[in-house]
Amino acid sequence: MKSLASYKHIESAVIHGGIYGDYATGAVNTPIYQTSTYEQDGLGKPRSKWEYSRTGNPTRAALEALIAELEGGTHGFAFSSGMAAIDAVLHLFRAGDTVIISSNVYGGTFRILDKIYKQFGLNYKIVDTCDLETLKNAISPDVKALLLESPANPLLTVTDIAAAARLAKENGILTIVDNTFMTPYLQRPLELGADIVVHSATKYLGGHSDLIAGLVAVKDEILAQRLHFIQNAVGAVAGPFDSFLLIRSIKTLAVRMEAHVANAEKIAKALQNNPAVKKVYYPGLPDAQGAEIQKKQAKNGGAMISFELLDNYDIKKFFEGLRLIALAESLGGVESLVCHPASMTHASIPEEIRRQVGITDTLVRLSVGIENADDLLDDLLSAIDGAKK
């Protein structure tokens, strides 16, 4: 079996990290332990540490150890969806508490706070976390956590994670970072001072648009114990087969992210130079909001791009004109996907809030896949041409 000291780099960790292989047989892959329960030898005599698969399952445990290692944490938790992961983290709080969320978070994160948790007395505040002064002023005594996305969805705005986490620590509150858009290959929030990292593993970690899952990583023993209790008590765990698929997918995370980002950098530049494009939002462009902070806290700008066309272009026609890039929600798969945040991913956010945070009706969000960049550009540019009014 490999020893932890046998590699230093994340390109090796994605392949060998966590609980690698199967000691009993020497299999290089973790088996799919498709079982709900485990036989005991007698009363009070468990044969192994496993007792019931909601509480723990060896395939899931291998994935949980892997995400913990990749994020630089000590404990990982796998859930049946990204929202289930966020839901588990929100169970750390109680009625009367307030959670601050970044002003353009994932629509589902807003929805669970606004429509579910508010009913139970857990409140939220939408704050432009990119502005540290605004953030500082928003931390009232009832605030118990910051829930940040950086870059945030869909305008790719960048929050200084280290500075926000410092501010949180000074005030005795938790910093939670949704790292879905970056993955631990590009950004590791726990190392920047965050307490909890959450993922929709449905996106880049899964990488092939074929599963729904969520992951959490922490570096604190008490938080880990509380989250394990919640995971077992609430029960939205990842199944053994999805856990296996995720372990398999994460093995190629490094090479996939390199290919995603190379394409995205090329496409962001081409869109910026296109006269039909009003604005490009991509934190890898030197003149983007937060570009300097992005450089400091992440490997590069990632592979999500948003943009707006000039008013004399018909957005509906643009979407209909695409032949290679599919119109679909979600992101992070090997195939490029395009979406219309105002009517799709962010439709659950009321129009006036959408307007306030800059999610216009002409905004397009592009998840750049790993196809040939010129094929992608040809498709985008011909759809833009065809959309001219």
Ligand X SMILES: *Cc1c(COP(=O)(O)O)cnc(C)c1O
Per the CB < 8 A criterion, the answer to whether 302 and 275 are in contact is no
Active-site residue among 106, 117, 124, 313? 106
CB of 105 to ligand X, least distance (A): 7
- Closest C-alpha to 164, from 220, 101, 116: 101
53 or 209: CB nearest ligand X: 209
Q: Does 328 bind ligand X (CB under 6 A)?
A: no
By C-beta, is 81 or 263 nearer to ligand X?
A: 81
CB of 200 to ligand X, least distance (A): 3
Contacting ligand X within 173-192 (CB under 6 A)? 178, 180
Stretch that binds ligand X, among 88-96, 135-143, 196-204, 227-235 (CB under 6 A): 196-204
Residue 16 or 188 having the CB closest to ligand X: 188
Measured from the CB atom, the residue of 93 and 313 that comes closer to ligand X is 93
Q: Does 114 bind ligand X (CB under 6 A)?
A: no
CA distance linking residue 341 with residue 281, whole number of Å: 13
Q: Is 336 in the site for ligand X (CB under 6 A)?
A: no
Pick the closer one to ligand X by CB: 168 or 216: 216
Applying CB under 6 A, the span of 54-62, 187-195, 199-207, 299-307 interacting with ligand X comes to 199-207
Residue type, 285: L
Amino acid at 11: E
Catalytic member of 178, 195, 242, 379: 178
Specify the residue for token string 């588990």.
88
157 torsion bin: left (phi>0), alpha (psi -120 to 50), beta (else): beta
> 140 and 213 in contact (C-beta within 8 Å)?
no
Q: Which of residues 202-221 bind ligand X (CB under 6 A)?
A: 202-203, 212, 214
Q: Which residue has the CB atom at the shortest distance from ligand X?
A: 82
> Of the two residues 83 and 237, which places its CB atom closer to ligand X in the complex?
83
Question: How many CB atoms neighbour CB 45 within 10 A?
Answer: 7
Is residue 242 within the footprint of ligand X (CB under 6 A)? no
Contact yes or no for 100/143 (Cβ under 8 A):
yes
Distance CA 296, CA 290 (A): 10
Question: Does 7 participate in catalysis according to the annotation?
Answer: no
Q: Which is nearer to ligand X, 30 or 104 (CB)?
A: 104
Query: From CA 110, how far away is CA 331, in angstroms rounded?
Result: 18
Cα distance between residue 170 and residue 183, in whole Å: 27
Task: For the chain, count helices (H), then strands (E).
Answer: 14, 14
CB contact set of 278 (below 8 Å; sequence gap of 6+) = 307, 308, 309, 310, 311, 362
Angle (CA) 298 347 204, round 5°: 30
Task: Give min distance, CB of 168 to ligand X, in A.
Answer: 20
- Active-site annotation holder among 144, 188, 203, 219: 203
- Provide the token pair at 329: 């929600």
Q: How many residues bind ligand X (CB under 6 A)?
A: 15
Q: Is 306 a binder of ligand X (CB under 6 A)?
A: no
For ligand X, the closer of residues 59 and 183 by Cβ is: 183
Spatial neighbors of 116 by CB under 8 A, at least 6 apart, are none
Looking at the chain, list the stretches that DSSP marks H as alpha helix, in order from N- to C-terminal side: 10-16, 58-70, 82-90, 107-111, 132-138, 161-170, 183-186, 221-234, 240-250, 253-272, 291-297, 315-321, 351-357, 373-386
For ligand X, what does the binding mask look like between residues 69 and 108, x meaning CB under 6 A? Answer: ------------xxx----------------------x-x
Identify the helix (H) or strand (E) that includes residue 366: strand 363-367
Strand partners, 218: 75, 196
Catalytic residue check, 106: yes
Smallest gap from Cβ 362 to ligand X, in A, equals 21
Per-residue interface string for the shown chain with ligand X, residues 130-169, x marking contact by CB under 6 A: -------------------x---x----------------
Closest CB 203 distance from ligand X, rounded Å: 6
178 flagged as catalytic: yes
Interacting span for ligand X (CB under 6 A) from 132-140, 197-205, 244-252, 348-356: 197-205
Binding site for ligand X (CB under 6 A): 81-83, 106, 108-109, 149, 153, 178, 180, 200, 202-203, 212, 214
Residues with catalytic roles: 54, 106, 178, 203
